[in-house]
Amino acid sequence: MIRCNVLIIGSGLAGLSAAVRLREMGVEDIIILERMSGGQYEHYHRTCGEAISDRMVSLAGIGRDCAIRSIDSATIACGSVDIHIHTKGIIIDRVELLKVMRESSGCKVARASVRTVKRADDGYIAETEDEEYHCKYLIGADGAFSVVRKNLFGYRPEVKMAAVNNLVEGNSETAEIRFFVSPQYPGSYRWDFPSKDGLRSVGYMQGTDEVTDYVEQGIRFIVTGTNRTVVKDNCCIVGDAALLANPLSYGGIGAALLSGRKAAESIAKGDLSGYQKWVSKNLMFNPHFMQAYYTFKEWDQSEFDDATAPFLSGSNLLLLRGLYAVLRRPKWANVYMSIWMGFKYCW
């Protein structure tokens, strides 16, 4: 049995963000377990649009060294209507960011796939094929199909979708991220983001669309939900393990980085309840987003036309148009508001 103070399962953005923050706060004796390595690990983490807002970059304290592109606007394209939203962010080189975070944490990352976790009298035990790890604090940063969530929290994702990300040849110099919405993509969208080296990231939920001329293709699950129990005694779940991605935009990078950081700060203080309070009160994780998702998912073509009509003549004075849309179409108010809040605070 290997013993440590803090065991982190998963070395994605959430797990490494927690590790970096724990070390910054002087916590020692940390082990990270990661089931993947090399090309498989990099491919998994490259399967992503890699877009994150400037706001999140600043809150997560990651700096802009791993930025490959600056973003200054998002466009929602719905048939002949293009809604332009001014929003600032970056496209990150996610694999590079993970490497930088791993190095700056100075933590040992052991290659191991955790099969089960359980409570022990004085902490937690994680079992892998070859070894048992005993820890005082346990952080589940093990993504969409979290063993920690399943074994110790006992709940499942409310929404689970296989997303396909394609790297295709195209103009990677643009500063705009584009979302295509229509009944073809129920409750979701097709995205088209700039990437690097003459490539673009084009993606959709599996079965809603197809791209054949890709340079690289990856499929990963996006999960989300409204159960906000993220702490039990000295164990917590962060990032996708805690279903923290936004149900409308599916932005989860910022939530992963911030939740890892907040969990670490609470562990450093010896009391995880601060992390639970942060999640419970944070606007990012408000249940209104999930309600908006369920409404939006049911829209047929006439409802898309109706909802976008206030924006037909352009996107100037967007705030006023949005206000007019909310007043004239109160049944869609939560969707309008959630999209607006999503771009402002949740990516």
What is the smallest separation between the CB atom of 210 and ligand FAD, expressed in angstroms? 15
Site string for ligand FAD, 118-157 (x = CB under 6 A): -----------------------xxxx--x----------
3-state secondary structure at position 6: strand
Question: Is residue 247 a contact residue for ligand FAD (CB under 6 A)?
Answer: no
Question: Is residue 93 a contact residue for ligand FAD (CB under 6 A)?
Answer: no
Question: Is residue 165 a contact residue for ligand FAD (CB under 6 A)?
Answer: yes
d(CA 79, CA 299): 14
What is the smallest separation between the CB atom of 9 and ligand FAD, expressed in angstroms? 5
d(CA 217, CA 191): 14
User: Given candidates 5, 23, 24, 36, which one binds ligand FAD under the rule CB under 6 A?
Assistant: 36
Question: Is residue 166 a contact residue for ligand FAD (CB under 6 A)?
Answer: no
User: Given candidates 251, 310, 322, 342, which one binds ligand FAD under the rule CB under 6 A?
Assistant: 251
Number of residues that bind ligand FAD (CB under 6 A): 40
Q: What is the DSSP string of 4-35?
A: EEEEEE--SHHHHHHHHHHHHTT---EEEEES
Neighbouring residues of 176: CB distance < 8 A, sequence distance ≥ 6 = 71, 72, 73, 74, 75, 194
User: Given candidates 4, 8, 11, 31, which one binds ligand FAD under the rule CB under 6 A?
Assistant: 11
User: Given candidates 8, 18, 48, 290, which one binds ligand FAD under the rule CB under 6 A?
Assistant: 48
d(CA 199, CA 23): 36
- CA–CA–CA angle 339, 294, 321 (5° rounding): 30
Question: Is residue 192 a contact residue for ligand FAD (CB under 6 A)?
Answer: no
Strands (DSSP E) along 155-309, which ranges? 159-169, 176-180, 190-194, 199-205, 216-224, 231-232, 235-237
d(CA 310, CA 320): 10
Q: Could you tell me which of 202, 210, 240 has the C-alpha nearest to residue 15?
A: 240
User: Given candidates 6, 8, 34, 135, which one binds ligand FAD under the rule CB under 6 A?
Assistant: 34
Question: Is residue 276 a contact residue for ligand FAD (CB under 6 A)?
Answer: no
Backbone angles phi, psi at 312, to 5 degrees: -60, -35
d(CA 111, CA 94): 20
Question: Is residue 113 a contact residue for ligand FAD (CB under 6 A)?
Answer: yes
Question: Is residue 50 a contact residue for ligand FAD (CB under 6 A)?
Answer: yes
What is the smallest separation between the CB atom of 148 and ligand FAD, expressed in angstroms? 8
d(CA 247, CA 160): 10
Question: With CB under 6 A as the contact rule, which of the stretches 46-54, 67-75, 278-286, 324-332 interacts with ligand FAD?
Answer: 46-54
- Pick the closer one to ligand FAD by CB: 15 or 123: 15
Which residues here bind ligand FAD, judged by CB under 6 A?
Answer: 9-15, 33-36, 47-52, 113-114, 141-144, 147, 163, 165, 203, 220, 222, 239-241, 245, 250-254, 256, 347
